[in-house]
Structure 1
Amino acid sequence: MTMPQADPNQPLIPMPELSLQALRQAVAAVAPSRLPEFFEDMQKAFVRAGDEGTVLPIRLFYRQWGVVVEIERHPETARRLHEAERALDSEDPEVRDQAIREAGDIVRAAHREVAGG
């Protein structure tokens, strides 16, 4: 007996709240190879917030990583984005232009979702 395949159009995890703990757990679940980048960005955001006396860098960090999670929790969307990123190295300018459009569409849609729209 075989197990049914997961639907690539269904999210792997629910969208987490935009908090440090929830985003860390989500990144660990959907993009574990990016955890070092997550922690580096977190450290930079908190240092910048302290230096500037504002929480804006922390809010931007949460938003940035919320977008990453929003993309990566949808396997088909993540696959399309990573394929577009690889196509940016193409010798063909039309392929690169299409890749830029595709990646931009995906990232903009993820930003809208994270913003609640």
Structure 2
Amino acid sequence: MTTQPDHGHELIPRPESTPDAVRVALARIAPHRLSEMEQHKEQALAAALTDGKVGHLRHWLAYWQAQVEIERRPDLHSRHQAALAAVHATDSRDDPGFGEATAELRAVEAEAQQAVSG
């Protein structure tokens, strides 16, 4: 596991870029999401077997690396939770708050993705 000190407190070090390391990290910081991760893995594996492309598995790993990044960093986690709450507080997609909240969700996910791919 490695660390990135430039964004403050982290709950755990960033895991290595392997499925096992990402799963262990998720189990430590968000065990309630393990079944979601497993289900997503089964879908990615089925898609990879169907069309013969490992890209499905690469996408799965990249997605979960970013999810662990969000969960392990309180700064990203709080922004993510606030954006989700804002989305759920809107009445429809036409609500101006919906667009702002979804933009923030995309920004948090992009920041997490960039952190783990850089």
Instruction: Tell me the number of residue pairs that the alignment of Structure 1 and Structure 2 aligns.
Output: 109
Could you tell me the percent identity over the aligned residues?
31
Aligned residue in 2 for 1:78: 77
Aligned residue in 2 for 1:108: 110
Q: Per-residue CA shift, 1:4-62, capped at 9, x if unaligned?
A: xxxx9311111112211101101111211110000101111112212222211111110
Q: Tell me, which stretches of 5 or more residues in structure 1 are unaligned? A: 1-7
Instruction: Letter of the 2:24 partner, please give it.
Output: Q
Aligned residue in 1 for 2:40: 41
Q: Per-residue CA shift, 1:63-90, capped at 9, x if unaligned?
A: 0100101111102311211111111122
Instruction: Letter of the 1:106 partner, please give it.
Output: V
Instruction: Letter of the 1:94 partner, please give it.
Output: P
Which structure features the higher share of helix residues? 2
Who wins on radius of gyration, i.e. which is larger? Answer: 1
Q: Tell me, which stretches of 5 or more residues in structure 2 are unaligned? A: 1-6
Instruction: Letter of the 1:111 partner, please give it.
Output: Q
TM-score normalised by L of structure 2? 0.82
Higher RCO (Cα < 8 Å, 6 or more apart): 1
Choose which of 99, 102, 117 in structure 1 pairs with 2:101.
Answer: 99
TM-score normalised by L of structure 1? 0.83
Aligned residue in 2 for 1:4: none
